[in-house]
Chain A
Amino acid sequence: MTPTEALTAHRGATVAQTLTVTVKPGYHVNSDKPKDEYIIPLKLTWTGGTLDTKATIYPKAEEIQVNGQALTVFTGTFPIQTEFQVEPNATPGTVTVNGKLKYQACNNEMCLRPVTVDIPLQVTIQ
């Protein structure tokens, strides 16, 4: 995980932020909309600060077959875009928005236990 770059936004504006994720070769992570109800989806959430999350946009998932099971997954490097709405009456200054990325990775032979990683994002409101 590399540190996030600071974001600058004006009060009342909508700003976009892209998180770039890279999965190790040979592994995949479940998509945000897995086909099986028991599979743990990839999920990015943000809390804190004076920004509301308007939308989280995941890329189109790949469809693969593993051990006879149809899966929708992400592999390699992929972006997750979040659109934030800055509150019109937000106080100018720097705030931290706390992102959490939950994912669960597998290869063809094994799965790794689900992990949630913290993604602190510094936002300067002007």
Chain B
Amino acid sequence: MPPVEAQVRATKDRKAAPDFSLKDENGKTVKLSDYRGKVVLLNFWATWCGPCKVEIPWFMEFEQQYKDKGFAVLGVAMDDEGWQAVKPYLAERKVNYRVLMGNDSVTQLYGGVDSLPTTFVIDKDGRIASAHVGLVGKNEYAGEIQALLNGGKQTVAAGHAPLSGADALLASAAK
């Protein structure tokens, strides 16, 4: 993998990632704080989201490559149909990282999450080191993960202006 510049916030500028409790596909309750001490890639996604589909193989690769180095991917699925839609999707793709079922209470903690994918990279102390709305390059994530696993101190936060689903239609009119 080519070296890339990490796009993580300076340690002093990082805010605590809000803790939450959600269930995984086995019904086990998982807290974000259970992962304290690890670098976490927290990815809000949905089965109907095309750009999310692009990222999943990358995240599987990261999970495989860095899981023994203090790293974990946590997916938070935002499908209204719940596990009925998500379980087959995960099985088809043989997703190797833990996925939790999201809800609006949790997304509110993270600024609403109107657009998917929305991804937060969280440092070992449970602070948000970077936030991305939309599809981001694989190397960008890899660089951030590597920087945080190595105690990275780079700056420059990334992000796109979010939009809500209701904003996508300019107008509709019946005649």
Contact = CB atoms under 8 A, between A and B. Distances in A.
Given A40-B48, A110-B160, A113-B78, A105 B171 contact: no
B172 interface: yes
Contacts of A104: 48, 165
A103 B49 contact: no
Given A39-B48, A106-B51, A112 B165 contact: yes
Interface in A19-45: 19-24, 27, 29, 38-40
Contacts of A40: 48
B4 to A, nearest CB: 19
- A interface, over-half SS: strand
Interface residues of B, number: 34
A32 B163 CA distance: 23
A111 B46 contact: yes
Nearest to A39: B48
Interface in A89-126: 99, 101, 103-106, 108-115, 117, 119, 121
B138 to A, nearest CB: 12
A66 B50 CA distance: 8
Contact of A106 (B47, B50, B169, B171): B50
Interface string A9-26: 000000001111111100
Contacts of B165: 103-105, 112-115
A4 B172 CA distance: 9
B50 A69 contact: yes
Contacts of A23: 168-170
Nearest to A82: B174
B46 A112 contact: no
Contacts of A67: 50-51, 53-54, 135
- B interface, over-half SS: mixed
A5 to B, nearest CB: 6
B57 to A, nearest CB: 12
Given A38-B47, A38-B89, A110 B115 contact: yes
Contact of A103 (B47, B117, B169): B169
16 contacts: A19-B173, A20-B173, A21-B172, A22-B170, A24-B167, A24-B169, A27-B168, A67-B50, A71-B50, A103-B168, A106-B49, A110-B115, A110-B134, A111-B50, A114-B80, A114-B165
Given A110-B116, A119-B172, 17 more contacts: A1-B171, A20-B171, A21-B172, A38-B47, A39-B48, A68-B54, A69-B53, A99-B174, A105-B168, A110-B115, A110-B135, A112-B116, A113-B114, A113-B164, A113-B165, A115-B165, A121-B174
